[in-house]
Amino acid sequence: NGGIDYNMFFLSFSVYRCPLQLMPARLVVQYGDPASVNCSTSSTDPAGMGWEARKGGTGFHDEARFVLWKVEELKDWTLEPLCYITLFDNEQCKKRASVTLYKNPDDVSVSLLEQGPMKEGSEYHLQCNITSVAPVQNLTVSWHKGNEVLKTESFNNTERTPEDVASFLSFTPRSHDNGVNLECRAQLSFGLETLPPSVSAEYSAEVYCEFSTNLFIEITSGDDVTLNCSTEGNPSPVLQWTFISADGLTRTTRGNQSSINIIRATSTSAGIYICVATNKVGRVTRFTTLIMKGTVIDCAEHIL
């Protein structure tokens, strides 16, 4: 009588979960080592279980609650064992084991691509060769200068089998880098598990560098004056002074420093003293000028 009928519809959903558990859930194995994964079920009515695999397959086990996949030496890079179960209502399900096979590098080595020795301030390139490592997508390569990390690199190669890998480093040495040790480290990691790195032999950098020194002095008649010309270079530069001879002047050399000593300076002591340093890299000249106090001169910097 003018009433409204309501039709109610109810939908119910259920999510089916395969009653199989693999232990371990993820297996990381070194090439040639033994491997095993246990497959068990929470089902109370299994008709049977088994493993399908090119190696280590078990066949069907009637009414089994667990079954073990096991190999004494794992050397198949593409092996993917599959655990399966059949229930009494003929329901079936499968789970594939996550197995990662790895191999540490046969060799890690570093070489300089240009001809050495290095020259200070110039850019050079080093190559790190990592031989026969897998899987490359789990590899990290790092470059080290002493305790300092210069560069890290990872790779997108998804190939499972061993590959040769190269990493490159651009390096601009400074004078303090002479004799420093450079090395390359290749390390495999799998989530929270990180393997010890494979480390290259150290590459000892030989850096040729120019020396630098400069001096400008105003003196008073009667002063004692010492001019020092010191070097920082590899190979060690040879030092040579050029100057106009003056009274009370002596010259001494000790190690990488050459000195001119003037006792009781006079007007004849004023002038330009030239120190030249030469090594295999080149030749550098610095001019040191002695000026008597009160003298007005027009001076300029000399750079060769």
**For 31-75, what is each residue's pLDDT tens digit?**
999 999 999 999 888 999 999 999 999 999 999 999 999 999 999
* Most confidently modeled range among 87-96, 155-164, 210-219: 155-164
In a domain, 4, yes or no: no
Distance CA 234, CA 159 (A): 46
How confident is the model at residue 212, as a pLDDT? 47
Residue 29, CA atoms < 13 Å, CB-side half-sphere: 25
Provide mean pLDDT across the span 107-126: 92
Last residue of a domain, one of 156, 185, 208: 208
- Any idea what the Cα angle at residue 103 is, between residues 56 and 107, rounded to 5°? 155
Indicate the pTM of the whole model: 0.66
How confident is the model at residue 14, as a pLDDT? 43
If asked whether residues 158 and 198 sit together in one domain, one would say yes
pLDDT digits (tens, 9 = 90+) for 288-304: 888 887 654 432 333 32
In a domain, 299, yes or no: no
Cα distance from N-terminal residue to C-terminal residue, the chain? 115
Q: Specify the length of the chain in residues.
A: 304
The residue type found at 286 is R
Residue 241 structural domain: 216-292
If asked whether residues 221 and 202 sit together in one domain, one would say no
Whether residue 151 has pLDDT greater than 60 = yes
In a domain, 91, yes or no: yes
If asked whether residues 116 and 204 sit together in one domain, one would say yes
Asked if residue 245 lies in contact with residue 173, where contact means CB atoms within 8 angstroms, the answer is no
Whether residue 210 has pLDDT greater than 70 = no
If asked whether residues 64 and 115 sit together in one domain, one would say no
Whether residue 97 has pLDDT greater than 90 = yes
Whether residue 194 has pLDDT greater than 60 = yes
Whether residue 260 has pLDDT greater than 80 = yes
Q: What is the CATH number of the domain that holds 273?
A: 2.60.40.10
Last residue of a domain, one of 72, 102, 132: 102
Last residue of a domain, one of 208, 232, 265: 208
Distance CA 18, CA 5 (A): 42
In a domain, 287, yes or no: yes
In a domain, 12, yes or no: no
Helices (H), strands (E): how many in the chain?
0, 27
Asked if residue 246 lies in contact with residue 261, where contact means CB atoms within 8 angstroms, the answer is no
How confident is the model at residue 226, as a pLDDT? 87
How confident is the model at residue 294, as a pLDDT? 66
Closest CA to 82 of 65, 99, 64: 99
Closest CA to 132 of 188, 175, 87, 80: 188
Distance CA 167, CA 127 (A): 6
Whether residue 255 has pLDDT greater than 90 = no
Closest CA to 128 of 164, 104, 94: 164
